[in-house]
């Protein structure tokens, strides 16, 4: 019997995860079909219940359900509890287990780009759900300091608490006129963008949170947005002389971590990246 792996989110029709996950499953000889389940918030409990079916290996969870799904799982691991969100679910001995592979996705993507996080000063733009995994990744990798810039300071302050004692964190407004933000950007070796600005089909496809004159040569600019591969944020930072890292590597690496949990096998990253890029090319 062909097994099922689900992507639970709303909406999900635009996701390229089914393309690269199915390619990896086929390459590994796993008899499974990766399919998107468009799930409204009201339908989330029923979708999670479907994962208990004998032919389902597990699921990825994407926006807007990563936080809500955590409360519906019997065995979230300590990492999921720390982040406060799940993105991968699997069944084991009749119980649903969950973790957050976005943390590994961040670390692998930056490692692939040759970025060393230990001892680095980092500015994080945005304080939404994806930013929580970034903060945990920075904390684990030994970053020296973190400045969180967000339009609403209470949300940034709540995220700063997640950094804990091991990662000194400060907050400021996400405003190009903020002296505190510009000072932090001058010190930072790494700037991470976690807002939806510049995302295709997002709130403003042509926007970047800050203009080019906020950045400088020698910085690394990492955008979590992966569609398009070249975002307005990356264009702005590149024009200032920064080295850019797109979000596709994070997406693929977090998916590879999920694949290992569902199948117990090692996926082909080469196959995953090729299928993901082909999906992006087809969406243009």
**Mean pLDDT of all residues in 56-74:** 95
- 218: CATH: 3.40.50.720
Residue 174: Cβ-neighbour burial (10 angstroms; 0-12, 13-18, 19+): buried
Same-domain pairing of 34 and 91: yes
Report CA-CA distances (Å) from 203 to 199, 206, 259. 8, 9, 31
Select the more confidently predicted residue: 281 or 234. Answer: 234
pLDDT at 204 over 80: no
pLDDT of residue 284: 61
Query: What is the band of 175 on the pLDDT scale with cuts at 50, 70, 90?
Result: very high
CATH of the domain at 63: 3.40.50.10860
Q: Which residue has the higher pLDDT, 203 or 247?
A: 247
Mean pLDDT in residue range 266-280: 97
- Indicate the DSSP class of residue 247: S
Residue with more model confidence, 284 or 17: 17
Same domain, 234 and 276: no
Same domain, 142 and 172: yes
The count of C-alpha atoms lying within 13 angstroms of the C-alpha of 146, restricted to the half-sphere facing its C-beta, is: 34
Q: Are 84 and 152 in a shared domain?
A: no
Q: Phi, psi at residue 203, to the nearest 5°?
A: -65, -30
Q: Following DSSP, what letter does each residue of 20-55 receive, concatenated?
A: HHHHHHHHHT--EEEEEEE--GGGHHHHHHHTTSTT
Residue 163 has pLDDT above 70, yes or no: yes
Question: 95 and 117, same structural domain?
Answer: no
| Distances 258 to 24, 98, 121, 124, 262 between C-alpha atoms, Å | 12, 10, 30, 25, 6
pTM, two decimal places = 0.94
- Across 4-43, b (16+ Cβ under 10 Å) vs e yields bbbbbbbebeebbbbbbbbbbbeeeebebbbebbebeeee
* Domain that residue 16 falls in: 3-100+251-283
The strand pair at 88-92 and 145-150 is best described as unpaired
Give me the catalytic one of 10, 66, 108, 253: 66
Read off the pLDDT of residues 5-56 as tens digits, 9 standing for 90 and up.
999 999 998 899 999 999 999 999 999 999 999 999 999 999 999 999 889 9
With a CB cutoff of 8 Å and minimum separation 6, the contacts of 116 are none
Backbone dihedral region for residue 164 (phi beyond 0: left; psi -120 to 50: alpha; all else: beta):
left
* Contact call for residues 158 and 132 (beta carbons, < 8 A): no
- Parallel, antiparallel, or unpaired: how do β-strands 75-76 and 95-99 relate? parallel
pLDDT of residue 283: 63
Question: Coil, strand or helix: which one is 116?
Answer: coil
96 and 162 belong to one structural domain: no
Distance CA 137, CA 120 (A): 13
66 is catalytic: yes
Q: Is 142 left (phi over 0), alpha (psi -120 to 50) or beta?
A: left
Q: Which pLDDT score is estimated for 228?
A: 87
Domain check: are 109 and 201 in the same one?
A: yes
Say what the pLDDT of residue 128 is.
Answer: 86
What is the Rg, in whole angstroms, of the alpha carbon atoms belonging to the chain?
A: 19
Instruction: Work out the pLDDT band at 201, boundaries 50, 70, 90.
Output: confident
**Does residue 256 share a domain with residue 241?**
no
pLDDT of residue 1: 85
Count CB atoms within 10 A of the CB of residue 204.
12
What does the alpha-carbon distance between residue 150 and residue 238 come to, in Å, rounded to a whole number? 22
> What local confidence, expressed as pLDDT, does residue 238 receive?
97
pLDDT digits (tens, 9 = 90+) for 120-160: 999 999 998 889 999 999 999 999 999 999 999 999 999 99
Domain identity same for 112 and 226: yes
- Please tell me the predicted confidence (pLDDT) of residue 122: 98
Indicate whether 111 and 242 sit together in one domain.
yes
**Structural domain count, the chain:** 2
User: What pLDDT, on the 0 to 100 scale, is given for residue 261?
Assistant: 98
Same domain, 76 and 190: no
| Residues 6 or more apart whose Cβ sits within 8 Å of residue 242 | 191, 215, 216, 217, 218, 219, 220, 221
For residues 74 and 184, membership in a common domain is answered with: no
| pLDDT digit string, tens, across residues 69-121 | 999 999 999 999 999 999 999 999 889 999 999 999 999 999 999 999 999 99
């Amino acid at each position: 019997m062909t097994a099922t792996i689900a992507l639970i989110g709303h909406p999900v029709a635009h996701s390229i995860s089914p393309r690269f996950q199915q390619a990896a499953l086929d390459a590994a000889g796993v008899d499974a079909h990766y399919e998107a389940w468009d799930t409204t918030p009201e339908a989330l409990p029923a979708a999670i219940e479907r994962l208990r079916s004998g032919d389902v290996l597990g699921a990825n969870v994407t926006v807007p359900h990563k936080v809500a799904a955590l409360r519906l799982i019997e065995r979230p691991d300590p990492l999921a509890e720390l982040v406060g969100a799940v993105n991968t679910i699997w069944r084991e001995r009749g119980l649903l287990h969950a973790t957050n592979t976005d943390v590994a996705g961040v670390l692998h993507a930056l490692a692939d780009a040759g970025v060393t996080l230990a001892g680095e000063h980092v500015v994080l733009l945005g304080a939404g759900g994806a930013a929580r995994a970034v903060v945990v990744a920075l904390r684990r990798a030994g970053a020296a300091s973190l400045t969180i810039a967000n339009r609403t300071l209470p949300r940034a302050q709540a995220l700063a608490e997640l950094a804990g004692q091991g990662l000194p964190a400060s907050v400021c407004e996400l405003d190009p006129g903020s002296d505190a933000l510009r000072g932090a950007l001058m010190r930072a070796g790494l700037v991470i963008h976690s807002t939806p600005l510049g995302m295709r089909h997002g709130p403003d496809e042509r926007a970047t949170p800050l203009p080019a004159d906020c950045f400088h040569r020698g910085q690394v600019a990492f955008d979590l947005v992966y569609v398009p591969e070249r975002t307005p944020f990356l264009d702005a930072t590149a024009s200032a002389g920064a080295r850019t890292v797109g979000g596709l590597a994070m997406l693929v690496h977090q998916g590879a971590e999920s694949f290992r949990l569902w199948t117990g096998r090692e996926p082909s990253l080469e196959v995953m990246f090729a299928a993901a890029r082909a999906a992006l090319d087809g969406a243009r």
